[in-house]
A and B are shown apart, each in its own frame.
Chain A
Amino acid sequence: MKKRILIVDDEINVVKILKDRFVHLEYEVETASDGQQALEKVADFSPHLIILDIRMPKISGLEILGRVKTTYPHIRILVITASQKDDTHTACMEKGADGFILKPFKTREIIEKVENIIKSNVPVNTHE
């Protein structure tokens, strides 16, 4: 059975790059370009893992992270952000993110992390 990944980022280029890559790796991929859309997709698509950007209009990634983890604690979330602020990192970890990658990312690193997170049954709380 294919694993489902939801990619959420307001940067459509990033969305396309990651979608192409994970489709190529034979994942089932859905995308969302804002928080509202993301929340709807989570309900419909029921992803195994969300690749989530933090700085987005309307609803921030941090809020989505909180809501998803409250409602669907089994969904794994890998945060990708361009923000280098220490408090962003800390806040994500506190809200239960399973991984944290700084943009620009090495695609190989993302793949590695996604695979690791999905493989493990226990929540993986690592970063970089």
Chain B
Amino acid sequence: MKKQDDNEAARYFESISTDTNEGIVVVDHEGIILKVNPIFAEILGYQEHEMLGKHFHSIILCKKFPPQPIISLYPLHQFYIAEKTSIGLTFFNKQGREVPVRFRSVIMRDEHGQVKQAIGRVEQLHKMTGTDEGGVNNHAEKMWEIQQNFENVFNNSADGIVICDSSGLITMANKAFSQMIDYTQEELKERHIAEFTAYVEGTHATTTGEEVIIDEEFVTFNASRIGELNVKGYISNWETYFVKKNKVHVPVEATISVLKDKDDERRGTVVILRDITKRRKTDDELMKHRKQLEGSVDNLQEAKDYLENIFEGSADSIIVLDLSQDQKRLVIRRVNSAFEHLFGYKKEEIFGQGLDTLISPDNHEAKEKMVIFQANFLNKGETSPVALDMIAKNGNEISVEVSGALIKNNQKNTIGAELIFRDLRQRRKLEVMKNEFLFNISHELRTPLASIKGSLDNLLDGIAGELNDSQEEYLEIINNESDRLVRLINDLLDLNKLEVDAIKIIPQKIEYISIVEQVIQSLKDLADNKGLLLSIETHSPEIYLKADSDRVNQILVNLICNGINFTQQGEINVVIEDDDSQVVVTRIQDTGIGIPPDELGKVFDKFYQLKRKADEKNRGTGLGLAITKRFVELHGGSIWVKSSEGKGSEFCFSLPKGGC
């Protein structure tokens, strides 16, 4: 292979070296001269053999130009940059004289693409004659250099360059321009430059993908810029459109200058056109982004206004707090109008203050509650509402319900909090009114019932004479229904008290077994009347509880009566379990009709009455178990029920022991 290539190069060399007026040199990949033709030797004033084996660089070394201009030959490893060159250079001959040449080079590579040899062709630009030619040669050299530079720029420029004569006809157009508008350089010659500018009115496609509207105004404006050219002699940075063969418009930035000769005659124009498609696209993108951003900003503003309105419009007081540096305290940052109104502070007065500002320094309970709330809130994010007595600027106490939410940043770290204060005074007033109303209605209902009940008692006890069986039966019905009304009134009042937390239990050390025995004794008649056995079962002679004896009494009465009411035959058994635990469990077991599984979950609900039929005589109010449950819970105990339909039920509750 190598041999063959060498032969090829040799043949090529032979064929061109003899029949030419150019100097020819062949170098290897290191720049060592392999062959020269006689003309190359003559140009540099050497004998052919003197040059062979020497480094090309050492032969033509010019002190004036650094080695870079002959990069095409030396160093050869850079040849890949320029496979072919054609450049004006000055070599130095054997005598040290400058020899201006036009130098062309070609790289030869092996099959692996490695540079193997390079062939240089040298054309002497001005034959040196004698010794006096220095000045002339220098001038010519410079002219040539200028021309070369221009050609270089013209051909290699990325911008389109068009040279027109004085009438506007194209004399030269470079490759960049012809590519820009899709005509060949040949097609462009002798055509008028104006043919390629945008002048056809209408909507046209452009290279940016957007459309451009060419209208009268556009054409007039362009004409005015041309006018400017005539006056000033140049136009720069003129943004306009040129038109491709396919009528697609290319946005360009044009710089035009008038060419004049030494007599100041206009000889033509140079038009430099920069394709700004990319820039336009980028601009359009930027504009789109900008519009989007502006849209986002508008949306944000809207959202902000919206939230602002909610914040300010809230009837509840809202404050926004920042977490202090030590992460332990909350500092007020914003408050709404309702807050200003309720607490009497202006926004700016309260900024930067802690929550303690809103608590009376003398109100230790509130202070403590606030500390606990703040700690719970910050640590656990707990937000269940807390009732709190706070203080207004003027010293008035304000009862509020506080609830809140933590404010977190993107990293989920707590950075602050939002608290909502609901003024409880109105609600309290309503509650007082409701309670008053309930007490009054209760009194008004009880008064006539007292007369009814008293009359019945007198009649049934024979005060007004003997009754026959039928009369007695009817009077019993009236009596039972009156009792039911009384129970309903009692329960309603109890439930109301429980709901407003008005019932307070007063836990004391009490002996439980004796209380159970008393209750059983008092209900013995009721059980006996139905033929039921009522008994107590326990291993402990006495058990001490920490409880409110009246309420414990009520719990037992309610549950045992319930058992009696729903049992037709058998027994009610009260089992008291006292083991080592902290609570005493009481089980009230009956052999009654039981509770269907689907109703088990509802028996402790307010006003829930089982579908099962209780004794007509002792119909409940639907409130008994709800109240009983509350009483148990107020003691810190719990209540539950088990039942097997048709076999009986077991109501169980636990109460805390009272220690010793």
Bound state CA distance, A102 and B494, in angstroms?
Answer: 15
Which one of B442, B444, B450, B458 lies within 8 Å of A21 (CB-CB)? B458
How many Å from the CB of B571 to the closest CB on chain A?
Answer: 27
Q: Is the CB of B446 within 8 A of A55?
A: no
* Inter-chain contact B458/A17, CB cutoff 8 Å: yes
Q: A11-B451, A21-B463, A83-B439 are in contact. Are A104 and B446 (CB under 8 A)?
A: yes
A20 close to B452 (CB less than 8 A): no
For residue B454, CB closer than 8 A to chain A, the reply is yes
B575 CB-CB contact with A under 8 Å: no
Q: Which of B439, B450, B457, B486 contacts A11 (CB 8 A)?
A: B450
Which residues B601-657 have CB closer than 8 A to chain A? none
User: Judging by beta carbons under 8 Å apart, are B463 and A24 in contact?
Assistant: yes
Given A20-B463, A24-B463, A84-B493, is A104 in contact with B453 using a C-beta cutoff of 8 Å? yes
Establish whether residues A17 and B451, one from each chain, have CB atoms under 8 Å apart when the complex forms: yes
State whether A18 and B493 are in contact (beta carbons under 8 Å apart), knowing that A82-B447, A103-B447, A104-B449 are contacts in the complex.
no
**Is B304 part of the binding interface, using a Cβ–Cβ cutoff of 8 Å?**
no
For chain B, residues 158 to 194, give those with C-beta under 8 angstroms from any C-beta of chain A: none
Instruction: Please measure, in the bound complex, the distance between the C-alpha atom of A14 and the C-alpha atom of B453, giving whole angstroms.
Output: 10
| B458 x A11 contact (CB < 8 A) | no
Q: Min CB distance, B549 to chain A, in Å?
A: 13
Which A-chain residue is minimally distant from B494 (CB atoms)? A84
Residues of chain B contacted by A80 (CB below 8 angstroms): 450
Evaluate contact between B452 and A104: CB separation under 8 angstroms: yes
Which listed segment binds B: A42-50, A71-79, A105-113? A105-113
B443 sits at the interface (CB 8 A): yes
Q: B453 to A13, Cβ gap below 8 A?
A: no
**Contact at A14–B442, with CB atoms within 8 Å?**
no
Give the contacting residue for B443; candidates A14, A17, A83, A107; CB below 8 A.
Answer: A83
- Which residues does chain A contribute within 8 Å of B442, judged by CB atoms? 82, 84
Query: Roughly how many angstroms separate A21 CA and B439 CA in the complex, as a whole number?
Result: 29
Let me know if B454 and A18 touch, CB within 8 A.
Answer: yes
Q: Please tell me the number of chain B residues within 8 Å of chain A, measured between CB atoms.
A: 22
A85 at the binding interface (Cβ < 8 Å): yes
Count, chain A residues at interface, CB 8 A: 21
Give the distance in Å from the alpha carbon of A20 to the alpha carbon of B482 in the complex.
21
Mask of A9-39 contacts with B, CB within 8 angstroms, 1/0: 0010110011011001000000000000000
C-alpha gap A13/B447 in the complex (Å): 10
Counting CB contacts under 8 A, is B237 at the interface?
no
At the interface, yes or no: B455 with Cβ under 8 Å from chain A? yes
Query: Which of chain A's residues has its CB closest to B486's CB?
Result: A104
Contacts of A105 in B (CB 8 A): 450, 453-454
Given the known interface contacts A17-B455, A55-B443, the answer about A107 and B486 at a Cβ–Cβ threshold of 8 Å is no
A84, B493: Cα distance in complex, Å:
8
**Bound state CA distance, A21 and B452, in angstroms?**
14
B443, B454, B455, B493: residue with the most chain A Cβ atoms closer than 10 Å: B454
Q: Does B461 contact A (CB under 8 A)?
A: yes
* Beta-carbon nearest neighbor of B452 in chain A: A104
A102 to B458, CA, bound (A): 18
**C-beta contact mask, A105-127 vs B, less than 8 Å → 1, else 0?**
11110000000000000000000
Contacts A84-B443, A104-B446, A104-B482; is A20 near B451 (CB within 8 Å)? no
Query: Binary interface profile of A, 64-97, with partner B (CB < 8 Å = 1, else 0)?
Result: 0000000000000000101111000000000000
Rounded to whole angstroms, the CA-CA distance of A103 and B452 in the bound complex is 11
Interface residues of B in 416-443 (CB under 8 A from A): 439, 442-443
Given contacts A20-B458, A84-B493, A103 and B439 within 8 Å (CB-CB): no
Q: Which residues of B contact A82 (CB under 8 A)?
A: 442-444, 446-447, 450
A11 and B482 CA atoms in complex are apart in Å by 18
Q: Whole-angstrom distance from the CB of A102 to the nearest CB of chain B? A: 8
10 contacts between A and B (CB under 8 A): A11-B451, A17-B457, A82-B442, A82-B446, A84-B493, A104-B449, A104-B452, A104-B454, A105-B454, A106-B457
**Beyond known contacts A55-B443, A103-B447, A104-B450: 11 more, CB 8 A cutoff:** A14-B450, A14-B451, A17-B457, A20-B458, A20-B463, A20-B464, A21-B458, A82-B444, A104-B454, A104-B486, A106-B453
Q: Which residues of A contact B (CB under 8 A)?
A: 11, 13-14, 17-18, 20-21, 24, 55, 80, 82-85, 102-108
- Top 4 nearest A-B pairs by Cβ distance? A82-B446, A17-B454, A107-B457, A13-B451
